[in-house]
Structure 1
Amino acid sequence: MRIAVNARVLQKGRMEGVARYIYEVTRRMVANHPEHEFIFLFDRPFDPEFVFADNVTALEIGVPARLPILFKLWFEYSVHRALKKYKADVFFSGDAYLSLRSNIPSVMVSHDLAYIHYPDHLPGHHLRYYKKFFPLFHKRANHIIAVSEATKADIIEQFGISASKISIGHNASPKGFAPVVKSTKIEIRNQYSEGYPYFFYLGSLHPRKNIVKLIEAFSSYKATHNTEHHLVIVGRPAWNFHQIQKAYNFSPFKHEIHMYHDVKDEAKEMLASAISLIYISTFEGFGIPILEAFSSGVPVITSNTSSMPEVAGDAALVIDPNDTNEIVEAMHSIVSNESLREQLISKGFERTNDFDWDRTAEIVYDCLMKVAKV
C-alpha cells in the first residue's frame, strides 16, 4: 500500500507542536510497517534525517506554502497532482490541512480550533483562510484524529461532526526530557538566570500563550513577596510579539526576566533546572510542555481551560489564566512548600505513563487502514 504523508512542517530546527506529532507518529509507522511504501510530500528542500527508512520516498513539490494563498495552491494543486501521479491509496495529514479536490481517502489530525475562540490572536489573512477552509477540511476527512478529548468535543460542537468519525490520539513527551543533577542546575542557572532559581516558560511566543499575563503576574509576585526567583522565557517570537516586548519593558523587574529565542538542545536542561514550569495559555489543543516538565521532574502551574486540565490530571497546580492573584498564589505555593513540590513531581512522573507515542502511532495507523478499507 502507498501511504502519502503531508510532511511540509518537518523542518530541522522547528520541531515543535504539530511538527513533533507528525515526526513521532510517522517515524514509528514507517519502522513498524515496512510492507508499506510511504510518500512524504514536502513544499521545500528537506533534511535527509526525515527520510526515515528505505520504504520512504521523499518528494519536494510545488512552492513553499508560507501564506494562505500558497496553502491553497499547494494543497489543491501540488498535493492533488502528486496523490494522483503516485497512485496513493490513502493520505495522512498531521496538520489538519487537506486537498479538497482529491478523492483519495484521508485521515487528518486536528490539534485545536483556537482560531474560533481567539480570532484576535491571528493575522487577518490567516483567520479568513481558517474560517473558510478548516470546516471544509474536517468535513472532507474520512476520519479525524483529535489530540485530546477537549479538541474532540470542540470539533463536534463547532462543526456538527459525528463522534464516531473522531478518534483520540494523544501527544506524548519527546525523548530526552529527564531530571538533571544539582551541578547541572547550578551551571544552567549561572548561564541563564544570573545564578538564581527561576520559573520557566517553554513554547512559542504567541498571544494565546498568555506571556503578557505571565510577565505581569511575575512582576506582581516579586512586588508582594520577598523572593530571589527569576523568570526565564524560551521560545520563538510569533505574531504580535511587540506586545510581549512592551510588557517586558514596562515591568519594574525586567532585569530578573530573561528571554531567549534560540537555545537549541539546552532548553531541556533549562526546563529540568527550573523550580516550576508556568504554562498558562488561554487555549491549547493539548500542551506538550506540561508532559515535558513532568518527565523532567519539574512541578507545573497550568491553566484550567481547554485541554490543559485533561493533560495535567491531578499532577499540577491548575489556575485561572486570567487571574493574576491565582497565578501569584500558585507561584508562592511552589516556592514556599517543599512537600507540595515533591508531591507534584511524583505525580507528574506517574502521569507521563498515560501518554505514549507508540500507542498513538498505532491508533493513527489503524485509522488509515480503516479508511483505505484494508
Structure 2
Amino acid sequence: MIAINGKIFTQRMSGLGRFAFEVTRRLLDAGTHMVIYTPNKPLHDDYQSLANWIHRDSFGMHPFLWELFRLPVLLGKSGCSLLWSPANIGPIFPGVPHYLTLHDLTFIHDATWMDRLPRLLYRTLIPLICKGTEYLISPTEVIRQEVLAHLPEKPAGHVLMCHQGGDHVPLRDSSPPEQPLDSEKYFVFLGNIDRRKNLARIVDAWALARKKVDQPLKLYIIGAVKFKGNYSIDVEDASIEIRSNLDDAAVFALLSQARGLLFPSLYEGFGFPMLEAMRSGCPVITSNIGAMAEVAGSAALLVDPHSAQEIATAIVDLCRSDELHGKLVGMGFERQKTFTWDRTAHYYLDLFSRECR
C-alpha cells in the first residue's frame, strides 16, 4: 500500500495542489491501494473527492512540523510500503522508501525571491530531506539538472524527471473564432505577485507597448491577490486591472479570448499557465530561459525576461499580426498535447509499482 503525504490537501488549490490532486485522482482510478495522511486540519473543499481515502491525524501539531516529524510515526504503524510527498517537503527520517517531488529550488537563487526565514529553513531542510529519499522527481529537465548540481551526493539514477500535465483545462476548438476579437484587445498575466514572476518589468513593458499600438489595450492581472517577499508594485495605469477571486471557469474564459498570455518569469519549476493558455487558444509570451523555454518549446514567443523592450516588442507584434496570432494558437494546440495528466500519473504508477512488487 502507498502512503501519500497529504498536507497539501488541507490548503486551497495552487499549482502544487493541482499537480498532487490530478496524479492522486488517477492513481485511485487505476485501483492503487493507498492512504492519504493529513495533519489535524480539515480537508479543503477543493479536494473533497478524495475524502474517502483521507486519514486525518488527531494529534495536534503545526502542519509543517507534522510532515517532518509526526508523519513517520503514522507510517510506522501503517504497513505502507512507500511514501510519496508531492509538494517539496516530507519527513527527514521517513522509515519507508520515500519518493519526493521537488518542483523547484527557488531558495538557492536570488535572496529577494523569498522571505528570509522560509528561505533559511528551505536551504537547511531540503538537503536533509532529500538525503533520506529513495527517489527525487523533478517536473522539468532544467530543474533535474539543478538538483543534481545542488545535491551532488545524490546518484543521478535516483533523480528523475517527469513533465506534468495541463489537460485539466477544457480544450477550446482550435479553429479561429467566427466573430473577431473585441475591438479592445487584452492580455493576461496569471500568477502571484513576487519578484520571480517579473511583474514589475511586465508593467514597464506594457507602458512601452501601448505607445506603439494605435488601439485600446487592456492587461488583466489574474490571481495576484497576495504580495510575497515584502514585494509590491504600483499600478497607476488605467489600462491595467487586477482581478482576484476568479474561479477556474472564469479564468479559462478570459484566456480563450485574450490576445496573449504574458509569462516572462525569471524562474519557474514548470509553468502551468502556459499550458492553460495553449489549451484555451491563447498565444504565449514567455522567457527564453529555464523551465519556461523547455515547456513552451517553439510554440511561444520567447523573450529575454530581463528586457522590458523585448517583452514590449513581442506584445506589439502579437497585437499587429493576426497571422502570427493564428500561427501561435495552432502551435500551442499541438504543443500542449505533449503534457497530459494521464501520462504523468502513468509514470508515477510505474515508479511506485517497482517498489511494491
TM-score by length of 1: 0.87
Displacement after TM superposition at 1:287 (Å): 0.5
Q: Secondary structure at the match of 1:349?
A: helix
- Distance across 1 between alignment mates of 2:52 and 2:302: 44
Give per-residue Cα distances to partners, 1:32-80, cap 9 Å, x unaligned: 024x132332451014773646972432454575xxxx52x21233212
Tell me if 1:215 matches 2:215: no
Counterpart check, 1:255 vs 2:247: no
Contact 1:316 1:344 in 2 (8 A): yes
The aligned counterpart of 1:234 is: 222
Q: Is residue 185–residue 273 contact of structure 1 (8 Å, CA) maintained in 2?
A: no
Which amino acid letter does the alignment assign opposite residue 164 of structure 1?
Answer: G
Is 1:196 aligned to residue 198 of structure 2? Answer: no
The secondary structure found in structure 1 opposite 2:238 is helix
**CA offsets per residue over residues 136-183 of structure 1, 9 Å max, x none?**
222221011110011111101111132211222211114233338969
Question: Residue type of the partner of 1:176?
Answer: V
Q: Is residue 350 from structure 1 mapped to residue 338 from structure 2 by the alignment?
A: no
Q: Does the CA contact (< 8 Å) of 1:30 and 1:55 recur in 2?
A: no
TM-score, reference length from structure 2: 0.91
* 1:50 corresponds to 2:47: yes
Q: Deviations over 1:75-121 (max 9, x none)?
A: 23321222123232210100121211322111010111111112211
Question: 1:275-294, aligned counterparts within 5 Å?
Answer: 275-294=259-278
Matched-pair contact (CA < 8 Å) for 1:204–1:236? yes
Inter-partner Cα distance in structure 1 for 2:165 and 2:298: 17
Match in the other structure for 1:192:
none
Q: Does 1:33 align with 2:26?
A: no
What does residue range 1-374 of structure 1 map to in structure 2 within 5 Å? 1=1, 3-11=2-10, 14-34=12-32, 36-47=33-44, 50=47, 52=49, 56-63=53-60, 65=62, 71=64, 73-160=65-152, 161-179=154-172, 196-240=184-228, 243-246=231-234, 248-249=235-236, 254-264=237-247, 265-370=249-354, 372-374=355-357
Code of the residue aligned with 2:134 in structure 1: it is N
What is the CA–CA distance in structure 2 between the aligned matches of 1:90 and 1:55, rounded to whole Å? 20
Q: Matched residue of 1:9: which SS?
A: helix
Q: 1:107 to 1:224 in 2, by over 3 A?
A: same
Structure-2 separation of matches of 1:267 and 1:136: 38
- Which amino acid is 2:35 matched to? F
Q: Do the aligned partners of 1:278 and 1:300 also contact (CA within 8 Å) in 2?
A: yes
Structure 2, unpaired ranges of 5+: none
Evaluate the alpha carbon distance shift between residue 63 and residue 223 of structure 1 in structure 2; reply closer, same or farther with a 3 A threshold: farther
1:184 positional shift = 10
Task: Give the count of matched residue pairs.
Answer: 353
Measured on the aligned residues, the alpha-carbon RMSD in Å equals 2.4
Q: Which runs of 5+ in 1 are unaligned?
A: 190-194
Name the CA distance, whole Å, in 1 between partners of 2:164 and 2:40.
25
Compared CA separation, residues 170 and 184, structure 1 to 2 (3 A): farther
Distance 1:54 1:158, change over 3 A: closer
Identity of aligned residues (%): 27
Equivalent pair of 2:4/2:85 in contact (CA under 8 Å): yes
State whether residues 302 and 319 of structure 1, in contact with CA within 8 Å, keep that contact through their aligned partners in structure 2. yes
